[in-house]
Structure 1
Amino acid sequence: MKINQVEFIISAVQPSQYPKDGLSEIALAGRSNVGKSSLINKLCNRKNIARTSQKPGKTQTLNYYKINDKFYFVDVPGYGYAKVSKKEKQAWGRMLETYFTTNKSLKAVIQIVDLRHPPSKDDQQMYEFLKYYEIPTIIAATKADKISKGKLQKHQKIVKEELNTMPDDPIILFSAQTGFGKDELWRTIGQFI
């Protein structure tokens, strides 16, 4: 996809703040520090439209990015981060559950996992949650550049088995460093917008 325009629109925490223009939304979910912002930046050919941080847990709101005036990427808070209070975690959980279960504009979720490691319990719970609510899911397995070419399929198989993925849910190997998988990910996103 050719990206002509990317614009940060709003940080939302409740439905009354969601954009009301009816454009399709693709949410990006993953553990804190898995590279959601880097993935957004790479897909949009921008250096820092989405702020990257060395500190996990930086994203605490639903961050809306309008792409080509056609649809939104919605960067959601990372899960599995230990250094926030239990109360904060519960608030994030409620915010995410409301967003995922009530938002009619949400067309799919890109669940981002780190290809170098088997999916965590949090990754598994997120995937099960998305499947329970029948939300179309695209798995983006990032940091593919850190795995030798000969071992990519093996790591992809581990992701598939650990998440117990549905046959229709694509697992796309991706690297924000090299752009590997970028075209395939855009083609897949295009089916939902």
Structure 2
Amino acid sequence: MAFQIRPASTNFRYGFSEASQLRDFFDGEVNPIGIAFTGRSNVGKSTLINALFGKQTARTSKTPGRTREVNVFTFELFDPDLKEVHPTKFWLFDLPGYGHAQVSKEMSKNWDELMTTFFTSVKEAIRIVNVQDARHPDQDADRQFHHWLSRYPLRCSLAFNKLDKLKTQKDRAVLNKLKPQLSKDYAFIRDIHFISAEKGQGLPPFKSALVSFLLEAQARIEHK
């Protein structure tokens, strides 16, 4: 069977703004399987989520740092040939952006509390997808986030978005040269993708990688 992310199957479930809400959620869910998207403000994270899961799944904004909640959805996988929906309930987590300077100290503290609770609570059946801007990769805020994430026993996919904005081969060569160094610096990175959410470049193999992870995670849990 060739399962895919079922278009427009997302269902908004929760918007968590308090760490206690996240703790209650993970206490109530047994072995949640899913994907969590995170990235610097204004890297096109919401546009990417909408490209993968269907329009209007995530709110897009021209104001960086607007989203300060953990937005939680369920979604489905289906086999278009057999017209079969996978029986597992999968979860999508849209995490608030990091690295935006123009937020209050109170909001920054709340982000720290939310993210600490989230990454302490999630298990290996949740794949972290770190979205970065292909034009400005591995910024200070990204490096700080990856060093922070390294404290947790999690695995991460790295998606360089806005590939269509790189106009020259030289720009793309610079980005490609980063791959071995990033893999060396951050052992928890499992795969690296070059994509354009807006133009659709690189999305099919990225989708396939995400679906493979979900099915493998589901199989591991079933055989425990």
Q: TM-score with structure 1 length normalisation? A: 0.88
* Aligned-pair identity (%): 31
Whole-angstrom distance in 2 between the partners of 1:160 and 1:117: 17
Shift of 1:17: 3.9
- Choose which of 42, 50, 61 in structure 2 pairs with 1:33: 42
Whole-angstrom distance in 2 between the partners of 1:67 and 1:149: 37
Q: Which runs of 4+ in 1 moved over 6 A?
A: none
Whole-angstrom distance in 2 between the partners of 1:174 and 1:35: 11
Q: Is the 8 A contact 1:25 1:105 kept in 2?
A: no
Alignment of 1:1-193 (within 5 A): 1-4=4-7, 5-12=9-16, 13=18, 14=21, 15-18=23-26, 20=29, 22-44=31-53, 46-68=54-76, 70-104=89-123, 107-148=126-167, 150=169, 151-158=171-178, 161=181, 164-166=185-187, 169-193=190-214
Whole-angstrom distance in 2 between the partners of 1:118 and 1:75: 20
Q: For 2:213, what is the secondary structure of its paired residue? A: coil
* AA in 2 matched with 1:183: P
Change (3 A) 1:2 1:135: closer
Equivalenced residue count is: 192
In structure 2, the gaps of 5 or more residues are 77-87, 215-224
* AA in 2 matched with 1:6: T
Whole-angstrom distance in 1 between the partners of 2:143 and 2:182: 7
Shift of 1:87: 1.9
* AA in 1 matched with 2:55: K
Q: For 2:110, what is the secondary structure of its paired residue? A: helix
Structure showing greater Rg: 2
Q: For 1:32, what is the secondary structure of its paired residue? A: coil
Shift of 1:137: 0.4
Shift of 1:103: 2.5
* AA in 1 matched with 2:207: W
Q: Is the 8 A contact 2:124 2:154 kept in 1?
A: no
